[in-house]
Chains A and B, each alone.
Chain A
Amino acid sequence: KQEVTQIPAALSVPEGENLVLNCSFTDSAIYNLQWFRQDPGKGLTSLLLIQSSQREQTSGRLNASLDKSSGRSTLYIAASQPGDSATYLCAVTSPRGGSNYKLTFGKGTLLTVNP
């Protein structure tokens, strides 16, 4: 059974700081990995998608890496801004080669960027 863990559960940083969010998963047979952002009481916004054959993806100030063999991904946020405050969720699509391409989520990291 796939399990996804996100560390830390919460993070508070001053504006302008670079930061890293961590995600680990137990079964490396994934199809892809997605990072999402969720504002309180809202739906999920897809930030980055990394295919299992890729090592990293970049979008603006965000960079996500994937090490499938070790079951780890990191989301790097450069020059953080108060508007980045939200919960960040990591999810993997698995199993590769299976018939059920469901997303398995971690519990998320609650990020607060202080002005």
Chain B
Amino acid sequence: DAGVTQSPTHLIKTRGQQVTLRCSPISGHKSVSWYQQVLGQGPQFIFQYYEKEERGRGNFPDRFSARQFPNYSSELNVNALLLGDSALYLCASSLERQYEQYFGPGTRLTVT
């Protein structure tokens, strides 16, 4: 079975621009979570979606938004990019929200 997939792999954007990152969960998994990992740190929780509804939000500004589609795939949007948004963005899926989470390869975002 395919694991969690994310696209694109790498992305370079300019300050002030907007970006959309995509995630496809493992087949049958209903929950998708997004994490931001800056260099040298552990991942930080951004959002959790379950059955197409937002079930949790981390300490991130309103420039960050997400949604989950009927097929359980998800998009993370970041508006008005700042240099500090440069990071590895990780998507994780799980069968239910509290179960073992499986991570994708991540999207490396560089803001210049």
Residues of chain A whose beta carbon lies under 8 Å from any beta carbon of chain B: 4, 31-32, 34, 36, 41-46, 49, 89, 91, 93, 99-108
Contacts and interface: CB of A to CB of B under 8 A. Distances in A.
A102 B105 contact: no
Contacts of A102: 33, 45, 48, 56, 58
B103 A101 contact: no
A42 B55 contact: no
Contacts, number: 64
Query: From DSSP, what is the main secondary structure of chain A's interface residues?
Result: strand
User: Which 5 A-B pairs rank lowest in CB-CB distance, beginning with the nearest?
Assistant: A105-B42, A100-B56, A44-B103, A102-B45, A43-B105
A100 B106 contact: no
Contacts of B100: 32, 34, 46, 49
B33 A44 contact: no
A41 B88 contact: yes
Contact of A42 (B33, B45, B56, B106): B106
22 contacts: A41-B108, A42-B105, A43-B4, A43-B104, A43-B106, A44-B90, A44-B103, A45-B103, A46-B101, A46-B102, A91-B43, A101-B48, A102-B33, A102-B45, A102-B56, A103-B43, A103-B101, A105-B42, A106-B42, A107-B40, A107-B41, A108-B42
